[in-house]
Homo-oligomer: A and B are copies of this chain.
């Protein structure tokens, strides 16, 4: 089933906001076996909205339109839909009731303004949503057209809960057999990964391998695209065969699949082993702790973090020795080790990570340029520190530091089980 997405908003065509909703929808639709021909992004221009809607409905099997459904005066989608498809705006009392039920915290005036949201094109069916703003779908020339809010989390929820299930039962012809797996890879660059997997690239026309550096990691995709004549079992077998090859060739550099995050993977290892974790940070400024605690349930293994920017605080809060600071400097393997040991001691954790370095833009020297970072890891039996040299701006160096620290712990815990 071939469709297209139309995202509406001046904030998108003027580049103020990146169009993340179309990307999210494209990924979900692709995974569901739908082919997207075109993703169009257009401004809040009624004539252009009308022309784009008409063209899309004429050439594609379904359309998804996002944005312009809100209550403010620059939201123009519904009127354009009416003019494009020859419909009238109709008042939907049940939509208003639902909106009002979710708006108790607003003033009476604000709730009145929301009434605009209950006027939908004739023939529209409201889509379920817990959120205040709503979406709808209608059928035109036998094709489904979905209209969703542009606010990312509202759009995502409606796409998954209301659009994908309807599309799945819409189609008449059997779909292509589409399978995809996404591998998240750390510790190898794109060229090295490409070289390792090159032998897999041309042995089957139905198989495609893609490489996507997504800073600071690389993502690898394996896509099986087989005609409907291929059975689901055959497609699964093909996927499994190539999946096994990729896992063999990349080994532990694959830290996870698809939606896995490094902090979830590391957290899972700590939880499974019953180990608690602490962090001592300097240049990464809290980013390691923030990554770890982003994971629901991290309070089970995460104990504490100390971010100490100045030497005297590394001494007072993390018990780093002043002699070590004087001899090696704050950016050194010795200080990274003592920071990790200190974090473990003051928190009583089984494991601690530390990072000290120069995130820039200032503070670099010829001996220790911007991007020089030492990452420490302390466990009961062993403490180690790893020198790293990152490139990029301050935020990239901080992100690389947090990523590498978590990856160091992941490899340490996996090596432990060998």
Interface residue ranges, A against B (CB under 8 Å): 10-20, 22-30, 36-45, 48, 52, 70-74, 106, 109-110, 113-114, 151-153, 180, 182, 190-192, 194-195, 198, 201, 208-215, 219, 221, 223, 279, 281, 284-290, 292-294, 296-299, 302-310, 313, 316-317, 346-347, 360-363, 392, 394-396, 398
- A94 CB to closest chain B CB, in angstroms? 22
Contact status A296-B360, CB under 8 Å: yes
Partner among B14, B110, B194 whose Cβ is within 8 Å of the Cβ of A73: B194
Chain B residues, Cβ within 8 Å of A317: 304, 306, 317, 346-347
Chain B residues within 8 Å of A290, by CB = 284-287, 289-290, 398
Establish whether residues A14 and B40, one from each chain, have CB atoms under 8 Å apart when the complex forms: no
A280 to chain B, nearest CB (A): 11
**Which residues of chain B are near A307, meaning CB under 8 Å?**
279, 286, 289, 293, 304-307
- Distance of A20 Cα from B5 Cα, bound (Å): 17
Q: Is the CB–CB distance between A37 and B42 below 8 Å?
A: yes
Contact between chains at B304 and A305 (CB < 8 Å)? no
- Decide if A211 touches B74 in the complex (CB within 8 Å): yes
Contact B40 A40 (CB under 8 A): yes
| Chain B residue with the shortest CB-CB distance to A294 | B395
CA A22 to CA B20, docked complex, whole Å: 12
Take A18-B20, A310-B303 as given contacts and tell me if A13 and B37 are in contact as well, using a CB distance cutoff of 8 Å: yes
- Complexed CA–CA distance, A28 and B15 (Å): 8
Residue among A38, A361, A363, A394 with the highest chain B CB neighbour number at 10 A: A38
Query: Least Cβ distance of A72 to chain B in Å?
Result: 5
Given the interface contacts A72-B211, A106-B191, A362-B296, does A15 sit within 8 Å of B26 by beta carbon? yes
Query: What CA separation (Å) do A398 and B303 show in the bound complex?
Result: 17
Which residues in B have their C-beta under 8 angstroms from that of A27?
A: 14-16
On whether A215 and B296 interact (CB within 8 A), knowing A11-B221, A22-B41, A304-B313, the answer reads: no
CB of A349, distance to nearest CB on chain B (Å): 10
Give complex CA distance A45, B225 in Å. 14
CB distance from A406 to the nearest CB of B (A): 13
A208: B residues at CB distance < 8 A = 10, 74
Identify which of B13, B45, B361 contacts A296 (C-beta below 8 A): B361
Query: Beyond the given A286-B289, A286-B292, A299-B310, could you list 10 further A-B residue pairs with CB under 8 A, ordered by the A residue number?
Result: A12-B23, A15-B28, A38-B42, A70-B190, A70-B211, A74-B211, A285-B292, A289-B290, A297-B362, A304-B309
Tell me the nearest residue of chain B to A301, going by C-beta: B309
Closest 6 CB pairs between A and B?
A285-B293, A15-B27, A286-B289, A15-B26, A286-B286, A305-B307
CA distance A192 to B107 in the complex (A): 9
Q: Contact: B110 with A195, CB < 8 Å?
A: yes
Contact B113 A194 (CB under 8 A): yes
Instruction: Chain B residues near A279: list those with CB within 8 A.
Output: 286, 307
In the complex, which residues of chain B have a beta carbon less than 8 angstroms from the beta carbon of A194? Answer: 71-73, 113
**Contact of B15 with A24 in the complex, beta carbons under 8 Å:** yes
Most buried by B among A29, A292, A299: A299
Residues of B within 8 A of A361 (CB): 296
